[in-house]
Amino acid sequence: MSFSRDFTVQFGHCDPAGIIFFPRYFEMLNATVEAFFAEALNYSFTRIHIDEGCGVPTAHLDVDFRAPSRLADILTFTLNVVRIGGSSASFETRVTCGEELRMTVRQVIVWTGPGLRPARWPAGLAVALGAHLTGEEAAT
């Protein structure tokens, strides 16, 4: 099951060349992941970070920029969970503007407990992530 979020490219997202500056994509990506945890997994960043003193830092990012984005473009970030490990999970996010592919991201996040050490996914969160698993692992 995919999770999607739309962002409109604003003036402040763009560089003097008139295209989106790449760190702004990563902020949108993080906003997508944050919304995915809150809305799809019912496990907000406030609960993770403030209430439980845990975290989900990104350990790995693999990114391809396929076409530039410009002011007023409406970008759709579509996130899929493609792997769930003991303490990590892999997300794949496609960024499109209409039919055009703008960026693809493969991201590994790691559940961390106190002291930012890796820890096994809490059982309920693993189940919630599993409900969103797509691809080969979901079929097995």
Ligand X SMILES: CC(C)(COP(=O)(O)OP(=O)(O)OC[C@H]1O[C@@H](n2cnc3c(N)ncnc32)[C@H](O)[C@@H]1OP(=O)(O)O)[C@@H](O)C(=O)NCCC(=O)NCCSC(=O)c1cc(O)c2ccccc2c1O
Question: In the bound complex, which residue of the shown chain has the CB atom lying closest to ligand X?
Answer: 85
Q: By CB under 6 A, is residue 44 in contact with ligand X?
A: no
Distance in angstroms (rounded) separating the CA atoms of residues 28 and 50: 22
Q: By CB under 6 A, is residue 79 in contact with ligand X?
A: no
The answer to whether the beta carbons of residues 35 and 42 sit under 8 Å apart is no
Site for ligand X in 108-127 (CB under 6 A): 108-110, 112, 116, 118
The answer to whether the beta carbons of residues 71 and 25 sit under 8 Å apart is no
Q: By CB under 6 A, is residue 31 in contact with ligand X?
A: no
Output DSSP code: residue 7: E
Residue closer to ligand X by CB (options 9, 110) is: 110
CB neighbours of residue 76 within 10 Å: 15
Residues that bind ligand X (CB under 6 A): 30, 33, 55-60, 85-88, 108-110, 112, 116, 118
